[in-house]
Amino acid sequence: MDSILIQLLNGLDKGGAYALIALGLTLVFGTLGVVNFAHGALFLIGAFCAVTFQKILTFSKQVLDPNITFFDAYIEQPYLELWFGETGLAIIDYAVPLSIIVTIPTMLLVGLAMERGLIRHFYKRTHAEQILVTFGLAIVLQEIIRHFFGANPIPTPAPDIVSGSAAIGTWIGLGENFVYPWWRLIYLASSITIISSVFAFLNLTTFGMVVRAGMFDRQMVAFLGINVQRKFTIIFGLAAVVAGVAGAMYAPILPPDYHMGMDFLVISFVIVVVGGMGSLRGAVAAGFLLGILQSLASMTVVSSLFPGIDQIIIYLVAVVILLTRPRGLMGRKGVMED
């Protein structure tokens, strides 16, 4: 029972990351009609924003170690600690959550630059060409990251205070063995927050209303004298921010390396298709659903029954769904149909 609940939480966690990426992909597809294979790279850049921020905070100076008096021994001491003492250390400790402040504007800029610089020239091209050019862009971004950060995963710890596990079991009366890492809980909460704020933004604001109208009938909205293009460009930036924040927050869970973007992208694409191209709710639902399925499938009980199922469950589900429900779970009619 405990293990099922833990796997459920794990699944929700993974599903949160999937859903955030898939949400961005769907937003971009629904507004601009572009299939963006470089979206995983945005997730990657987000994660490396956190890494870079942490590296900047921990810029160190070599100082004499006061504990060793026999000879001159040097230790690395971050400048922040030298300048601010305890406060500085606390800031370093909170590097990952603080990096969000940097990540958001960076990702917005990256997203806008990407849309204006490349994507906008590909509106009228075929989907195959869009896939290919963004695939090329993803390779380029990934290799740039590798050039600067190397090929090894970079551990990016969460703040000390949440590095342990939360005793969920004792809260809900299931025994003390049922514990779960704090940071993963925070990740789950924040992904749900981000998703709901995106939905609130689209459903409750005038801007969102116009965007939704534009997704439905772009020409009509343009006839009404609204600059649809600019709004869609901003949406692309928003999608980049969502992916970037998802990546930055994911850094403590999975030490970022240069190909994590591609790994997540492939799955996220499958999720978008399962949810239904162009359906935001479908993307989110499918993200969580497949995340949970993947986690449940990796339980020993299941994998002893069907060996290897945890590796392929997502793809298996995708194949089955695409063949039985060609439009995905919640796909609208007329979207991406030849």
Partner 1 sequence: MMKRLMNIFKKQSDLTTILLFAAGVLTMPIWLDPIGANYPDLLQKFVIFGIFAVGYNILFGLTGYLSFGHAVFLGVGSYTAVWSFKLFTMNVLPAMLFATLISGLIAAAIGFVSMRRSGIYFSILTLAFAQMFYNLAYSVLIPITNGETGLQLRMHDIRIIDNYFSDPLPGLPSTELFGMSMNGYSGFYFCAVVLILAFYVAMKIFRSPFGMKLKAIKSNQHRMRYIGSDTRPYLITAFIISGMFAGLAGALLAVTDPLAGAERMQWTASGEVILMTILGGVGTLFGPLIGVGVIKYLENIFSAINEAVLHNFFSFMPLWAENLLVAITAPFVGEGWHLTLGILFMIIIIFLPGGLMEGFQKIKRRYLTISMKDSESTTKQE
Residues binding partner 1 (CB under 8 A)? 35, 118, 121, 125, 127-129, 131-133, 135-140, 143-144, 146-147, 262, 266, 269-270, 273, 277, 307-308, 311-312, 314-316, 318-319, 322-323, 326, 336, 338
Kindly state the smallest distance separating residue 128's Cβ from partner 1, in Å.
5
Measured from the CB atom, the residue of 76 and 143 that comes closer to partner 1 is 143
- Minimal distance, residue 292 CB to partner 1, in Å: 18
Q: Residues 155-163: contacts with CB within 8 Å, 24+ apart?
A: 155/255, 156/47, 156/50, 156/51, 156/54, 156/95, 156/96, 156/251, 156/252, 156/255, 156/256, 157/96, 157/252, 158/96, 158/182, 158/183, 158/252, 159/93, 159/94, 159/96, 159/97, 160/93, 161/93, 162/186
8 Å CB contact between 244 and 103: yes
Of 146 and 332, which has the nearer Cβ to partner 1?
146
Least Å from the CB of residue 153 to partner 1: 17
CB of 272 to partner 1, least distance (A): 8
Which of residues 61 and 325 has its CB atom nearest to partner 1 in the complex? Answer: 325
Fill in the amino acid letter for 214: G
Q: Which is nearer to partner 1, 262 or 299 (CB)?
A: 262
- Least gap, CB of 143 to partner 1 (angstroms): 4
User: In whole angstroms, how close is the CB of 273 to partner 1 at the nearest point?
Assistant: 5
Q: Which is nearer to partner 1, 144 or 234 (CB)?
A: 144
By C-alpha distance, which of 325, 320, 288 is closest to 22? 288
How does 107-140 read in b/e, with b if 16+ C-beta sit within 10 Å?
bbebbeebbeeebeebeeeeeeebbebbbebbee
Residue number, 173 or 308, with CB nearest to partner 1: 308
- Output the CA angle 15-232-259, nearest 5 degrees: 40
Q: Environment class of residue 66 by beta-carbon count within 10 Å: exposed (0-12), middle (13-18) or buried (19+)?
A: exposed
